[in-house]
Structure 1
Amino acid sequence: MILLNIQSSPRGAKSASIAVTDAFLEAYRASHPDATIDTLNVWEENLPEFDAEAIGAKYKGINKEPMDPAEAAVWEKIQRLAARFQQADRIVLGVPLWNFAYPYKLKQLIDLASQRNMLFTFDGKAYGPLLTTPRAFVVYARGGTYAENTPTAASLFDHQKAYIEFWLKFVGVQEVRSLVVEGTSWPAKEKREENLACGQEEARKMAAEF
């Protein structure tokens, strides 16, 4: 069993999303000691830029045309990233809320790995998924709170959860289980710690049936 653990916060031990996903993984490994955790931290992975060479390689790859050395090098890196999704039996993803959405480095990973004939198909008319991953677990960490009866109602300010879950299902994840942990930055210290602890405990419970 291979779990692809995607970390998208640069804060390390100070990160709420990493703290909650780590609690989930610790509980999962306790009952699945043979599981392999493949951790992909988007800040430490040295992701290639999705620049002219990458875009050129993309279209040449689709059309099966020869690439120049720069294009071939970046295309090989893109294939290696996609392979980590292809090989994973489960996906675990921690997503902090940045400007009411998600970190740009996570979007960079998505733009690199989500290639036609790697993670999805397109026949000119319709898209289709290429992964057959049974499920993913996603932690959405938010510094504030987004209840509907507040000035920052989730229906207006949440541009985080909908896209991530759309993308996971688009590439072939069959079931997405999510945990939203709010109030990790703005309340008083005691309340922040309580919110984080509650999130970790809920993540441990969710690991039991993952």
Structure 2
Amino acid sequence: MSTLLKIQSSLFNEHGQSSALIDHFVKNWQELNPEGTVVNRNLAENPIPHLDLPRFQAFATNPSEMTEVQREVVAQSDALIEELNHADVIVLGVPMYNFQVPSVLHTYFDHIARADVTFRYSADGPEGLIKGKKAYIFITRGGVYGEDHAQTNFLREILGFIGITDIEFIHAEGLAISEDTKAESLAAAEQRIMQLMPKAEFAL
């Protein structure tokens, strides 16, 4: 039985365009995987605390020397990483805010990128430890910036850093230009979803 992890980051929650697109994707995925499990992670509704010095130090502290507060910090991070480890498919809804990913999503990455847990350093450079995953990232933007953009490149880099390299990007751009442009872009993204839906794609 396959598991899909759905990660939302839109401040508008279910009303955000990125949320609507990933909901559309997940609905179609469930039709092809009726026995599959969907795990929901809404970062806007349940934000993760920003990484500060005490939280960073908790990740580097020997478990035998941790305080109770540090154990709680690490336990929260461990739970997020456990979700990733158990997922076969990861779907992210990512609007553009000030040319980058939402801060709640960046904070999420801060808590799952942990040395010797999700990546490690070696003589050959860093190695991601979360492997064998397929990621679909739906990016929504008011303007038109293209795939070679800092936001897209950041997502590719941070996911690749922890081992997730099989990534499909779906961009819906120009949503603030006009109603016609918005409708055309969203329709193209939905069409792309249908192209990604053959049963072989999800024979997990």
Shared fold (TM-score greater than 0.5)? yes
Q: By how many angstroms is 1:96 displaced?
A: 0.7
Task: Give 1:25's aligned residue.
Answer: 26
Task: Give 2:93's aligned residue.
Answer: 94
Corresponding letter in the other structure for 2:39: D
The 2-side partners of 1:21 and 1:204 are apart by 12
Per-residue CA distance 1:112-168 (angstroms, 9 max, x = gap): 111112211124773111111331111111111136xxxxxx75xx21100101111
The 1-side partners of 2:47 and 2:96 are apart by 22
Secondary structure class of the residue paired with 2:55: helix
Give RMSD over aligned pairs. Answer: 1.9
Task: Give 1:150's aligned residue.
Answer: none
Secondary structure class of the residue paired with 1:143: coil
Secondary structure class of the residue paired with 1:183: coil
The 2-side partners of 1:133 and 1:142 are apart by 29
Q: Residue 157 of structure 2 is aligned with which of 159, 166, 189?
A: 166
The 1-side partners of 2:121 and 2:140 are apart by 33
Which 5+ residue runs of structure 2 have no aligned equivalent? Answer: none
Which 5+ residue runs of structure 1 have no aligned equivalent? Answer: 148-153
Contact in 1 for aligned 2:13/2:45 (Cα 8 Å):
no
The 2-side partners of 1:48 and 1:72 are apart by 15
The 2-side partners of 1:65 and 1:49 are apart by 25
Contact in 1 for aligned 2:90/2:133 (Cα 8 Å):
no
The 1-side partners of 2:125 and 2:14 are apart by 42
- The correspondence of residues 121-200 of structure 1 with structure 2, limited to 5 A, is 121-123=120-122, 126-146=125-145, 158-187=149-178, 189-200=179-190
Task: Give 1:71's aligned residue.
Answer: 70
The 2-side partners of 1:77 and 1:202 are apart by 35
The TM-score with structure 1 as length reference comes to 0.86
Secondary structure class of the residue paired with 1:80: helix
Amino-acid identity (%): 26
The 2-side partners of 1:51 and 1:166 are apart by 22
Secondary structure class of the residue paired with 1:207: coil
The TM-score with structure 2 as length reference comes to 0.89
Task: Give 2:6's aligned residue.
Answer: 5
Task: Give 1:204's aligned residue.
Answer: 194
Per-residue CA distance 1:85-130 (angstroms, 9 max, x = gap): 1111111111111111111110000001111122111247731111
The 2-side partners of 1:161 and 1:46 are apart by 22
Task: Give 2:102's aligned residue.
Answer: 103
- The correspondence of residues 27-46 of structure 1 with structure 2, limited to 5 A, is 27-46=28-47
- The correspondence of residues 45-84 of structure 1 with structure 2, limited to 5 A, is 45-61=46-62, 64-84=63-83
- Sort the Cα spacing of 1:89 and 1:200 in 2 relative to 1 into closer, same or farther, 3 A: same
The 2-side partners of 1:37 and 1:88 are apart by 9
